[in-house]
Amino acid sequence: MKPALAKAKDDANPLEDLGRATLQVVHDLKNQLNGLKLYATFLRKRLESADQSLEERETLAKLIAGLDRAARDLTALVRYSRPLELHAQAGDLRKIIPAAARIKAGRHSGELGGTELTCEIQDGTLRGQFDSGVLTEALEAITEEAISGLPPRDVNQVSLQVSRDESSGAPAALVEWRGVRPATRSSGLTSFHEHANLHMALAAKIIEAHGGELNRDANSIRVLLPLSE
């Protein structure tokens, strides 16, 4: 007689169980990364006080930056895997977009050397219902994608153009990053959910939660956001 196989409970969902276990592992990894960052920061301060070589201090700075990126990626993974809740209020894209562009461009100015980001917002009302916090996060991620990976030159020009678009019959804001690095896929528009990095996938989820669209072609990234007036 063959031994009877254990039957799964009717209400058990292996994928849900795996998802919960994965999120727990991600949470634990993030805590460990934060602990490692504390140790690395302590060592960096000791090296600075002991007047150690610039090379050793730069190595620790790179280690801390890597730990920060890894923790940020894990946070994005958790947020992307969960339902997105918006707390939308009346807002103005004229205030949200420039702030997001300045934050991200400034954060990477030392790494990108000759990359210049210009921002031009055309005349017209750009008011709508937005969760300004998460929308700023999405625009930061898109700006980072737009100005990263460009070929080394004396100056790389990336422009951020914002205008009203009423071609569909309803008012919308067209936000376009021009002069970005070529898309990795040459056939048609790229689906950010399938082909781009995690932060861009999260940005697409945020844009879509606002009722908008995020698309990319060869040398530009475009966002359409509905407006209320």
Dump the DSSP string for 137-195: HHHHHHHHHHHSSPPP-S-EEEEEEEEEE-TTSS-EEEEEEESPPPPS--SSPPPHHHH
Domain residue limits at 153: 89-226
Final residue in a domain of this structure, among 81, 105, 138: 81
65-70 long-range contacts (CB < 8 A, ≥24 apart) are 67/33, 67/34, 67/36, 67/37, 67/40, 68/37, 70/33
Q: What is the mean pLDDT of the chain?
A: 77
User: Is residue 3 in a domain?
Assistant: no
User: Is residue 44 in a domain?
Assistant: yes
Q: Does residue 146 surpass a pLDDT of 80?
A: yes
| Domain tally, the chain | 2
- Measured CA to CA, the distance from residue 39 to residue 207 in angstroms comes to 37
pLDDT given at position 173:
94
Structure-model confidence comparison of residues 181 and 110, the more confident one: 181
pLDDT bucket at 152, cuts 50 / 70 / 90: low
Residue pair 210/131 in contact (Cβ under 8 Å)? The answer is: yes
Q: What percent of the chain has pLDDT over 90?
A: 24
Q: Are 77 and 174 found together in one domain?
A: no
Q: Are 207 and 94 found together in one domain?
A: yes
User: Is residue 8 in a domain?
Assistant: no
